[in-house]
């Protein structure tokens, strides 16, 4: 059962300017593994993912690093949640995440679905 859907769009250049202006922002927004990503378009898509997850959970203000995008060797992205974000997802019964990322024309987009395999009894 789909618990929530979130989508977000990030202007790549705006994120680049913010990271240049405030270098410490990188460690507040991204996990150590995500910080190793060098392409700004990929970082923007990861930031869009964090915003989209907040929309799924209906919980703005959760820690950014509680949402992590990891990539398989094939390049396919997946979503891992930690700490308070994982707790918020568990409260809603979310057991699975689905993620699609894209970037083109100076924008990055993330589409996230939170799903529950837990069936509610009637």
Q: Residue 78 is part of which domain span?
A: 2-115
At 43-79, the pLDDT tens digits run 999 999 999 999 999 987 899 999 999 999 998 999 9
Q: What pLDDT band is residue 121 in, cutting at 50, 70 and 90? A: low
Q: Given a cut of 90, is residue 120 above it in pLDDT?
A: no
CATH number at residue 20: 3.90.470.20
| Contact in structure between 2 and 36 (CB atoms under 8 Å) | no
Give a yes or no: residue 78 inside a domain.
yes
The domain tally of the chain equals 1
Q: Is residue 122 part of a domain?
A: no
Share of the chain above pLDDT 90, in %: 90
Residue 24 lies in a domain: yes
- Nearest-angstrom CA–CA distance, 69 and 46: 6
64 in a structural domain: yes
Distance, CA of 69 to CA of 122 (rounded, Å): 35
Number of other residues whose CB lies within 10 A of the CB of residue 25: 14
Residue 121 belongs to some domain of the structure: no
Tell me the whole-structure pTM to 2 decimals: 0.93
């Amino acid at each position: 059962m789909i618990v929530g859907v979130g989508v977000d769009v990030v202007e790549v250049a705006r994120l680049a300017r913010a990271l240049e202006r405030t270098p410490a922002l990188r460690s507040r927004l991204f996990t150590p593994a995500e910080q190793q990503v060098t392409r700004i378009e990929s970082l923007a898509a990861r930031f869009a993912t964090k915003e989209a997850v907040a929309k799924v959970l209906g919980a703005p203000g959760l820690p950014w690093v509680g949402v992590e995008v990891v990539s398989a060797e094939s390049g396919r992205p997946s979503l891992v949640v930690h700490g308070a974000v994982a707790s918020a997802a568990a409260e809603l019964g979310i057991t699975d995440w689905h993620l699609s990322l894209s970037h083109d024309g100076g924008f990055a987009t993330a589409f996230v679905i939170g799903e529950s395999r837990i069936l509610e009894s009637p």
